[in-house]
Chains A and B, each alone.
Chain A
Amino acid sequence: MTAISLTNLSVYYGETPTTHDVTFDIGKGESFALVGESGSGKSTILKAIAGLAPKWQGKISLLGTPRNHAIDPRVARQCQMVFQDPYGSLHPRKTIDATLSEPLAIHGIGDQNERVCAQMAAVGLDPRFRFRFPHQLSGGQRQRVAIARALMLEPQILLLDEPTSALDVSVQAEVLNLLKRLRHQHNLTYLLVTHNLAVVSFMCERLAVMKRGRIVEIATVEQLKQNTLEHDYSGELLRASASHLISAENPS
């Protein structure tokens, strides 16, 4: 059973296609990464799957059902998204409680108090944060709220758009551990967009390398770890990432 299946997906902003004939399948319970440099179209694919980029050609299937172009409430319960910037993705005038109970209210789900408290505990947020505003929380805490919000509707698929790139290193590790734990607890399927290859080898089983809107290679994470990626560009990306890591460790 595939959780996400893309066939010849081309997403358009205006008249210009930003991705070309993207095709891949992600199995249920799998964690799949999209890597590539900025502007390669990774986030665009995520937006098309979520419904935020409605202009596309090709086919998107979620859990075996083809998806139409608009945002629809049925898809909302299967597939949710965690955004990159935890400062911009939470409503500044709503308490954590209001943010987390909103999806329940939209879908007419009861027991709001219990569900909000349970979800906050599940993502490791102290109950005393419940009636705080986002500006009273740290970046890592906000990202936990964003993850909790995405999980409120108990979706099976989570789209993660660089979920840790806006956080500092120690907090990144906490959030990645949380995501890993949640995935095993709820048997979630992850589609992760990142340009951090260390995150990929920690979180994912397979990855697709993208360049200028096309997938150049789909590989397993073992290939990444053993440095046996086939395509020239993948090797280049790996070397760039490695040299970046070395220069970060030994600032000269």
Chain B
Amino acid sequence: MAALHNWLIDDAPASRFQARMGRSYGVMSRLIRNPLAVIGAIIISLLIITAIFAPWIATQSPLTQDLSGRLQPPSSDHWMGTDELGRDIWSRVVFGSRITLLIVTLVAVIAAPVGLLLGAVSGYFGGWADRILMGITDIFLSMPKLILALAFVAALGPGIENAVIAIAITTWPAYARIARAETLTFRNAEFVSAVQLQGASSARVIVGHILPLCSSSMIIRVTLDMAGIILTAAGLGFLGLGAQPPLPEWGAMISRGRTFILDQWWVATMPGFAIILVSLGFCFLGDGLRDVLDPKSEGK
């Protein structure tokens, strides 16, 4: 163990592999020393574990109805009570984590790379490419997020896939703007000129030299945006345009519970807690990553 530790923190690594491992080890150990990031990471890993092992964690099927036991308060049988059709809310919240995780991951995977690439291309080439791409970005930015998502879902039809597409369409412009702004700051830096002089193609300069500089701020921004994405997904679900019944989506569950909010508070509150907890987890993790992902902060 001590040998491995010394190998990882070696001042003069002997190979590229050792250098890379040492760097990841440094990032990990700094992440562990950051309490907020640890709390965030624990919440997110809990979410992932819950999503993977949902059938074993849930006490019953999220879809089984029991009309004789409807709107029961929280008890030892039903930890979070039951809803208006007698379904166990705990089981529904547990299965709902799968939908939330799916939406968040898909949106991040679609929107972040698209925004990153468009922003970097726009900033790197400038001129007409920049004007056209940023014009399109401005059009998307000028419309309120939820309204735009609503319009897309209304056009494409309700459902999770369309909700994901709609949210992705509304989130990429912000990433494109950040990536462009960052690209402009290094566009004329001498290290970019140096690579150009070595004969590198534009694609190589953008992908190999500009994107790595934008990516850490992008990772942080995406992590912080996760909370917003969850809330937009929940909002779409609340309006009946996201996941369709009987799927246990958290926003849709709140929407159904709204009718009973004064007498049976748990129906809307429990999925609400889940949304708050997960959003908070992503925010903490994003903050922690911001402190850690800067190589200059090493050893401070």
Contacts and interface: CB of A to CB of B under 8 A. Distances in A.
B199 A73 contact: yes
A153 B189 CA distance: 21
Interface stretch (B11-19, B33-41, B175-183): B11-19
Interface in A223-249: none
A153 B197 CA distance: 11
Nearest to A77: B199
B131 to A, nearest CB: 18
Given A93-B212, A106-B199, A128-B12, A133 B295 contact: yes
B196 interface: yes
B198 A106 contact: yes
A80 B191 contact: no
B296 interface: yes
B197 A81 contact: yes
A52 B295 contact: no
Interface string B161-195: 00000000000000000000000000001110111
B48 interface: no
Q: Which of B16, B196, B213 has the most CB of A within 10 A?
A: B16
Contacts of B195: 91, 102, 106
A90 B213 CA distance: 13
Contact of A88 (B12, B19, B190, B209): B190
A204 to B, nearest CB: 22
B198 A102 contact: yes
B155 to A, nearest CB: 42
A83 interface: yes
A85 interface: yes
Q: Which of A50, A83, A90, A91 has the most CB of B within 10 A?
A: A91
Contacts of A153: 198
Contacts, number: 80
B76 to A, nearest CB: 54
B19 A135 contact: no
Interface string B189-222: 1110111111110001000110011000000000
Given A93-B213, A128-B11, A128-B12, A107 B199 contact: yes
Contacts of B11: 128
Interface residues of B, number: 25
Given A52-B196, A103-B198, A95 B190 contact: no
Nearest to B209: A91
By secondary structure, the B interface counts as: helix
Contact of A71 (B18, B196, B209): B196
A139 interface: no
Given A97-B16, A127-B12, A131-B13, A71 B191 contact: no
Given A88-B189, A106-B204, A80 B197 contact: yes
Nearest to B11: A128
Given A52-B197, A128-B11, A133-B295, A90 B19 contact: no
Nearest to A97: B16
A71 B197 contact: yes
Contacts of B19: 95, 97, 131
A19 B253 CA distance: 72
A138 interface: no
Given A97-B16, A131-B16, A83 B204 contact: no
B75 to A, nearest CB: 55
B190 A76 contact: no
B190 A83 contact: yes
Interface in A75-103: 75-77, 80-81, 83-85, 88-95, 97, 102-103
Interface string A122-164: 0000011011010100000000001001000100000000000
Contacts of A84: 190
A37 interface: no
B191 A76 contact: no
A72 interface: yes
B191 A91 contact: yes
Nearest to B200: A106
A47 B195 CA distance: 14
Contacts of B204: 106
Contacts of A51: 196-197
Interface string A24-38: 000000000000000
Interface in B88-141: none
Contacts of A81: 193-194, 197
Q: Which of B19, B194, B295 has the most CB of A within 10 A?
A: B194
A179 B86 CA distance: 82
Interface in A168-221: none
28 contacts: A52-B196, A71-B197, A72-B199, A80-B198, A81-B193, A83-B190, A83-B193, A85-B190, A89-B193, A90-B191, A91-B191, A91-B213, A92-B213, A92-B296, A93-B212, A93-B213, A94-B209, A97-B16, A102-B195, A102-B198, A102-B208, A103-B199, A106-B195, A130-B13, A131-B16, A133-B295, A146-B194, A153-B198
Given A81-B194, A127-B12, 19 more contacts: A50-B197, A51-B196, A72-B199, A75-B199, A76-B199, A80-B198, A89-B190, A89-B193, A93-B212, A95-B19, A97-B19, A102-B208, A103-B199, A106-B198, A106-B200, A107-B198, A107-B199, A128-B12, A146-B194
